[in-house]
């Protein structure tokens, strides 16, 4: 995980601009998220139950993964000047504990009248399989 904070202004941002980062999903993250969110579904929390499912092992909460879009917007694209307006989510494939993921954002639109950017957001595993994708709308202050 990185703690660097980008400081893009609206005028600095361009169509096609990309930012990304990698992170490893840990057992601790899943436990903490399950306890914090109250989502203790056995597909996420119970190894024996998950082994009997079609996934064959515990899967990471999709909403846990989607929280990394907040880091993408608030720290990377645009970073300091971001005000999240909206985010769509499509859950494509499961993620497993100890998977390393790549969180990616790409600017696809800019609105001069509202100072809003549209960013396609995606999360991939190391095999480049898309786990989650969506679209973020961000006001650049």
Under the banding of pLDDT at 50, 70 and 90, the label for residue 4 is confident
Under the banding of pLDDT at 50, 70 and 90, the label for residue 113 is very high
Whether 80 is covered by a domain: the verdict is yes
Cα separations (Å) of 41 from 35, 49, 93, 102, 115? Answer: 11, 10, 18, 25, 40
For the chain, the domain total comes to 1
Whether 32 is covered by a domain: the verdict is yes
pLDDT at 1 over 50: no
Whether 78 is covered by a domain: the verdict is yes
Residue range 98-107, pLDDT digits in tens:
999 999 999 9
Q: What is the CATH number of the domain that holds 135?
A: 3.10.129.10
pLDDT at 32 over 60: yes
Whether 73 is covered by a domain: the verdict is yes
Spacing of C-alpha 6 from chain mean position: 17
Domain interval for residue 92: 18-140
**If you average pLDDT over residues 99-117, what whole number do you get?**
98
Percent of the chain with pLDDT over 90: 97
Residue range 72-87, pLDDT digits in tens:
999 999 999 999 999 9
Whether 91 is covered by a domain: the verdict is yes
pLDDT score at 86: 98
Whether 1 is covered by a domain: the verdict is no
Whether 4 is covered by a domain: the verdict is no
DSSP of 1-55: ------B--TTT--TT-EEEEEEE--HHHHHHHHHHH----HHHH-HHHHHTSTT
The total of other beta-carbon atoms located within 10 Å of residue 9's CB is: 12
Whether 9 is covered by a domain: the verdict is no
Residue range 119-134, pLDDT digits in tens:
999 999 999 999 999 9
pLDDT at 3 over 90: no
């Amino acid at each position: 995980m990185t703690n660097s904070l980008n400081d893009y202004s609206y005028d600095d941002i361009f169509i096609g601009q990309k930012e990304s980062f990698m992170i490893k999903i840990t057992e601790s993250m899943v436990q903490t998220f399950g306890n914090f969110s109250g989502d203790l579904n056995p597909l996420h929390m119970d190894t024996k139950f998950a082994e009997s499912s079609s996934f064959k092992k515990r899967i990471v909460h999709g909403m846990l993964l989607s929280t990394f879009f907040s880091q993408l917007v608030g720290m990377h694209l645009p970073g300091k000047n971001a005000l999240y307006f909206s985010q769509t989510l499509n859950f494509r494939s499961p993620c497993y504990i100890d998977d390393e993921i790549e969180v990616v954002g790409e600017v696809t639109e800019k609105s001069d009248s509202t100072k809003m950017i549209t960013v396609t957001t995606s999360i991939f595993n190391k095999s480049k399989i898309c786990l989650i994708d969506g679209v973020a709308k961000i006001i650049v202050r």
